[in-house]
Amino acid sequence: MSLGPVMMDVVGLALSAQERERLCHPLVGGVILFSRNYESPAQLRALTAEIHALRDPPLIITVDHEGGRVQRFREGFTRLPACARIGEIHAHDHARGRDLAHAAGYVMAAELLAHGVDMSFAPVLDLGHGVSTVIGDRAFAEDPLVVTELARHYVLGMTEAGMAACGKHFPGHGGVTGDSHIELPVDDRPLSALKKADLIPFARLCPTTLAAVMPAHVVYPRVDAEPAGFSRVWLQDVLRKGQHFSGVIFSDDLSMAGAHGAGDLGARARKALAAGCDVVLACNDPDGHDGLLAALAGYSNPGSQARMTRLHGRPAWGAAEPSQDARYHACRELLLA
């Protein structure tokens, strides 16, 4: 069975019978986990093993685990620094900043892979313009070249550990005050201004470094009337053609307020897929999952299915392997120094 275009969440620490049935639906391709799905390392490994055993190829298991305030699993995991902290250190010591970015990517990926999680939605490529509270210290810096440099080293760490990287939030969420979780932010800058700033990290990392990209629920009216995640202009013309991106495009969570203008959950999913997303995320709305799958009945995109198979974590770390890995210990010591 191939991987489908829907990535959904689950409610608790183990799968219910209804969730097991739903995750076997051919339109489902993955699961995103949250803090509510975590109790202990052993529990997490049991949950991910159960999810992976449902399908062949196994579903992709993902999480938002960037570091700082966005780290879903804490007890039993290394506390990762916020990206802005790495950026602050880099401003005074470039070499140490690069080393910290690499170490954070490696430790994050190694620990997640050892617990059966295939991928973290990281790194953040947004610029820290100082106006967005939802981005805030999740951004490495304001300077797009610094963001590019540190994100590249973060991705190198992830790749070394065996995890694919997802840059977000294309084409940049850092220039708006609104939080797309609760409203639809508007960025009035023209494309020319975005190309000189927020788009630089994506333009430099998309062709060869990133396996996936997640667009923002932000509208840029001087480029297109649709939010980026529902826009063929952004996803096809700018990202695919202009930036030569051939990886997976994930929608951001379709339950966020910034996506509500596209209709109900099924309509949002259809619109995102039509715009060019390969995978749509449906989170925190379990009652809507069955309706979403019904709304996408008959949908198939072989190109998206092929791209999805590249996201499985490699190598599959055993539970004890990070503790036996000298590289892991060196990176962890650097982060905790």
For CA atoms 279, 142, 259, 105, give the dihedral sign.
positive
Residue 30 has pLDDT above 60, yes or no: yes
CATH assignment at residue 120 = 3.20.20.300
In a domain, 242, yes or no: yes
Domains: count for the chain: 1
Residue of 119, 123, 58, 153 lying closest to 311 (CA atoms): 119
For the segment 229-242, the average pLDDT, to the nearest whole number, is 97
Residue 26 lies in a domain: no
Task: Give the containing element (helix H, strand E) for 119.
Answer: strand 119-120
The per-residue pLDDT for range 65-93, each reduced to its tens digit, is: 999 999 999 999 999 999 999 999 999 99
User: Is 248 part of any domain?
Assistant: yes
Task: Verify whether residue 252 is a known catalytic residue.
Answer: yes
Q: pLDDT, tens digit, for every residue of 174-227?
A: 999 877 676 789 999 999 999 999 999 999 999 999 999 999 989 999 999 999
**Domain span at residue 95?**
64-70+81-285+294-336
Establish whether 287 is a catalytic residue.
no
Classify residue 280: in a domain, yes or no: yes
Residue 32 lies in a domain: no
**Euclidean distance between CA atoms 77 and 328, whole angstroms:** 13
Decide: helix, strand or coil at residue 294: helix
Q: Catalytic: which of 64, 126, 137, 252?
A: 252
Residue 156 lies in a domain: yes
From CA 300, how far away is CA 45, in angstroms rounded? 31
Is 52 part of a structural domain of the chain? no
Does the reported pTM lie above 0.85?
yes
Residue 190 domain-assigned? yes
* CA 313, chain centre distance (Å): 14
Catalytic choice (93, 94, 181, 244)? 181
Identify the pLDDT of residue 315. 64
Read off the pLDDT of residues 262-320 as tens digits, 9 standing for 90 and up: 678 899 999 999 999 999 999 988 888 999 999 999 999 999 998 998 888 776 666 66
